[in-house]
Structure 1
């Protein structure tokens, strides 16, 4: 079995800048809505920052931007492929330094997102816990992952799986000396379910 050649990494700065402009928001307005500093947003938009997952999630939610959009998914679908299919060689990537994301979900706006996370040794989701309405699950494909959810921690090894309510404070870290690869699944929770 041959490994597909991945699509090039996607710079996320221009995507966030375009989204902010399309919504007619200034840097100050987006900072107020997201809780992320103006300076950090400016650095992200110029692709000179290495933002944490918490920061990217806060910006994405403030912009009401689907996760798919973060990948600037411009890969042309084959006319013979149905819209539910994503070919391995057309997976968009985001490089966040110690964390890389490879999108598996096909194009379009879905309530379910699947990706492969590659986490370098000592790489993490950031120093601040994540928390937003969704359900998350996954499977450790290679290496080890320490997952923190609602004050509890577990180290998962290859073949271990997990599911949790991501409205609970959570985060993750690769505490090993080898890279980790994780199949990561996010099921968006529709806001009307919580009203």
Structure 2
């Protein structure tokens, strides 16, 4: 199922209106309607806010079918992939189809100049970042962390945060988000 119709189905199933989601996310009803109709393409940070407003994990948007997994093994290159033109990054879900998981591990490949959370956003939960390749800046609260290969960062997601790839080449990072339990 396409992303927009999936969001609409989840919203209606929960008895929520576009206005309800707009109030919870800070986005306009018009933008949300365009997302549901596949006219606008949301960034990952937008999807995260929408998922929190719907009370679901971000990974729920990328599940083809609901097959609960207690043990999940993926070979290299497997996992759901999402290309985000808005942030110039490719997100690979490392644990798809894990319902009510306590964390959402992602492998993110960022092109030079890639930016996520330009206006910075916050949500309930915690995050862990491990930089595999390249260089990037992560902004948490009023602090800037310059990360290089092998560096890690852990923070409370309620602090406004965002990142950008400041290097000349591709940056690769493992980013783990622990969503609030619903």
**What do the CA deviations read for 1:135-170 (whole angstroms, capped 9, x no partner)?**
101211121111011111122112211111111111
Cα distance, 1:74–1:144 mapped onto 2, change above 3 Å? farther
Q: 1:138 touches 1:163 (CA, 8 Å); kept in 2?
A: yes
2:166 is aligned with 1:179:
no
For residue 103 of structure 2, what is the aligned residue in structure 1? Answer: 112
Q: How many residues align?
A: 178
- Normalised to the residue count of structure 2, the TM-score between the two structures is 0.85
Specify every segment of 5 or more residues in structure 2 that has no aligned partner in the other structure, as ranges. Answer: none
Specify every segment of 5 or more residues in structure 1 that has no aligned partner in the other structure, as ranges. Answer: 1-9
Q: 2:103 touches 2:176 (CA, 8 Å); kept in 1?
A: yes
For residue 81 of structure 2, what is the aligned residue in structure 1? Answer: 93
Q: 1:119 touches 1:179 (CA, 8 Å); kept in 2?
A: yes
For residue 7 of structure 1, what is the aligned residue in structure 2? Answer: none
Which SS does the other structure have where 2:119 is aligned? coil
The 2-side partners of 1:181 and 1:75 are apart by 29
**What do the CA deviations read for 1:63-102 (whole angstroms, capped 9, x no partner)?**
112222021243879xxxx731132354111222112211
- Which structure has greater strand proportion? 2
Q: What is the CA RMSD across the aligned residues, in angstroms?
A: 2.4
For residue 128 of structure 2, what is the aligned residue in structure 1? Answer: 137
The 1-side partners of 2:45 and 2:72 are apart by 29
The 2-side partners of 1:11 and 1:43 are apart by 13
The 2-side partners of 1:87 and 1:54 are apart by 25
Q: Quick check: which has more Rg, 1 or 2?
A: 1
Which SS does the other structure have where 1:125 is aligned? strand
**TM-fit CA distance, 1:30:** 2.2
**TM-fit CA distance, 1:189:** 4.3
2:17 is aligned with 1:13:
no
The 1-side partners of 2:110 and 2:4 are apart by 21
The 2-side partners of 1:188 and 1:28 are apart by 23
